[in-house]
Structure 1
Amino acid sequence: MKNDRPTGDIATALSLVTGATILGGIVLACRKPHVPVKKPQATVAAARRLNRAAGTLAASVLIDSAIEHYRGNFHNKAMITPLVTASLSLAASLHGTADSKGEAHVIRDLIYAGAGLTGLVGTGFHIFNISKKPGGLSWQNLFYSAPLGAPAAISLSGMLGFLSERLRDSHPDMPPKILGIPAGRVIGVMTSLGLMGTVAESGLLHFRGAYHNPAMYLPVTMPPVAAALLGASALGPIRRHGRLTRWWLRATALLGFAGTGFHAVGVARGMGGWRNWRQNLVDGPPIPAPPSFTGLAMAGLAALALLEDHPDD
């Protein structure tokens, strides 16, 4: 008789996703609804949320680049750079999260600016790495060479952190603005674009995997909706679909954790499983990559809070 019950790694995947969903549901249910207020403390609270988002992205980049560059045997000494800048960005984010002062911190500013620059230079290195191979910018090289979108994550971490410092630096008696534009709108648009870039990178790698698991469609369907809703809120009236945007961003944040579980199962399915972790961690799906969606969703929630606190600015 055929056994239709999930076994082995399939059962593990279901357990991980179910556990993450239940935990996320509990966290979301316990959150208090955001009540718009126009106080300096609200701006600092939003800045600290951005610090947490930047730190989540930095942690994802730190572990992911360490694994990927280890696979490349650090043949170029510059490959150590993202590990250093991501570590510094993570430390600055932790410091900013604990900082309740309403003023920018020069050291954090410098670290975040360095992280942003590192991502831009890293993207250039990755493009050069692909272009010098036979076939140039072919599908084969895009699939298996240095990932084009990976360095952008550390740039996003740096930009979110830099924007958090601009929030702290805003006048306490004035609505927060960046380059003369309401801060919530600037952060919302930037986060929306960041989500779409991350979707493109995820879509490319999941296309390489032939979407053999239906769950692989989630990172290319849920985040684009979150990006569209957030972009619409940032460019138009917030009250039109603010509640839907908030819940969709929370679901996208949860997707990042669930994706980590799925990738862990993908590693376990490799030959030798976790006993052969040195090879399977390097060659299997990147476990630290999905939390990038979590970090960007957190930034989107911070932007949404700013938009609600200053709806007419």
Structure 2
Amino acid sequence: MVWSHWSSDRVIIFMIGLFYILLWAQVTMFHYRQNFHSKVMWAPVLLAPLICLVSIISTLANTSGWFGLTQVLFWLGAISGLIGFYYHVKGVGKRVGGYAFRNFLIGPPIMLPLLFSGLSILGLIAVYGG
């Protein structure tokens, strides 16, 4: 296999797979720190390594079956991140003082779920645009 024969969309999907394992580590640490007090916190912890694995396998195997599964997981990742954004914003509001600026600094990181969605959306752009 020679890298020069890989299309840009294939490289992007491969890199997204690698980035999801890094994102998984961060999300897992944050949710572990909060003792997984809500069951919905398990979604990105379980979904991120799955997206990572399937994205990498689909680029290496280069078969339609893995490619289709990658599309489905990217859609789930995009939706999961948006749901996480909702819960994180809601969590900031539950802190003393509500939506005061300081609560955005010390509360749940509202940008992290958007990053989760953004990576999946980038994957979907590579999938449908490639």
Instruction: Give the TM-score normalised by structure 2.
Output: 0.86
Contact kept? 2:47, 2:77, Cα under 8 Å: yes
Q: Is the counterpart of residue 155 in structure 1 residue 117 in structure 2?
A: yes
| The one of 20, 26, 36 aligned to 1:64 | 26
Contact kept? 1:47, 1:164, Cα under 8 Å: yes
Query: Against the structure 1 CA distance between its residues 63 and 165, is the aligned structure 2 distance closer, same or farther, given a 3 Å change threshold?
Result: same
Q: Is the counterpart of residue 98 in structure 1 residue 40 in structure 2?
A: no
Q: Is the counterpart of residue 115 in structure 1 residue 84 in structure 2?
A: no
Matched with 1:53 is: 15
Contact kept? 2:57, 2:66, Cα under 8 Å: no
Contact kept? 1:120, 1:155, Cα under 8 Å: yes
**Percent of paired sites with the same residue:** 22
Contact kept? 1:126, 1:148, Cα under 8 Å: yes
CA distance in 1, matches of 2:54, 2:75: 11
After superposition, give the CA deviation of every residue in 1:59-100 in whole Å (9 maximum; x if it has no partner).
Answer: 122000110011001111111111111112101221232144
CA distance in 2, matches of 1:128, 1:97: 37
Instruction: Give the TM-score normalised by structure 1.
Output: 0.38
Flag structure 1 segments of 5+ consecutive residues without an equivalent: 1-33, 35-40, 169-313
List, as ranges, runs of 4+ consecutive aligned residues in structure 1 with deviation greater than 6 Å.
none
Aligned AA (1:105)? F
Q: Between Structure 1 and Structure 2, which shows a larger proportion of helix residues?
A: 2
CA distance in 1, matches of 2:58, 2:24: 18
Query: 1:136 is paired with a residue of what secondary structure?
Result: coil
After superposition, give the CA deviation of every residue in 1:199-252 in whole Å (9 maximum; x if it has no partner).
Answer: xxxxxxxxxxxxxxxxxxxxxxxxxxxxxxxxxxxxxxxxxxxxxxxxxxxxxx
After superposition, give the CA deviation of every residue in 1:24-79 in whole Å (9 maximum; x if it has no partner).
Answer: xxxxxxxxxx9xxxxxx6xx511111112311331122000110011001111111
Q: How does 1:180-191 map to 2 (within 5 A)?
A: none
Contact kept? 2:43, 2:80, Cα under 8 Å: yes
After superposition, give the CA deviation of every residue in 1:245-286 in whole Å (9 maximum; x if it has no partner).
Answer: xxxxxxxxxxxxxxxxxxxxxxxxxxxxxxxxxxxxxxxxxx
CA distance in 2, matches of 1:145, 1:50: 32
After superposition, give the CA deviation of every residue in 1:165-216 in whole Å (9 maximum; x if it has no partner).
Answer: 2144xxxxxxxxxxxxxxxxxxxxxxxxxxxxxxxxxxxxxxxxxxxxxxxx
CA distance in 1, matches of 2:66, 2:17: 17
Deviation, 1:143, is 1.3
Flag structure 2 segments of 5+ consecutive residues without an equivalent: none
Aligned AA (2:67)? H
Contact kept? 1:55, 1:157, Cα under 8 Å: no
Contact kept? 2:81, 2:113, Cα under 8 Å: yes
Deviation, 1:135, is 1.4
CA distance in 2, matches of 1:140, 1:53: 34
| The one of 71, 76, 79 aligned to 2:38 | 76
Deviation, 1:157, is 1.9
CA distance in 2, matches of 1:167, 1:98: 19
Q: How does 1:175-254 map to 2 (within 5 A)?
A: none
**Rg larger in structure:** 1
| The one of 142, 154, 164 aligned to 2:104 | 142
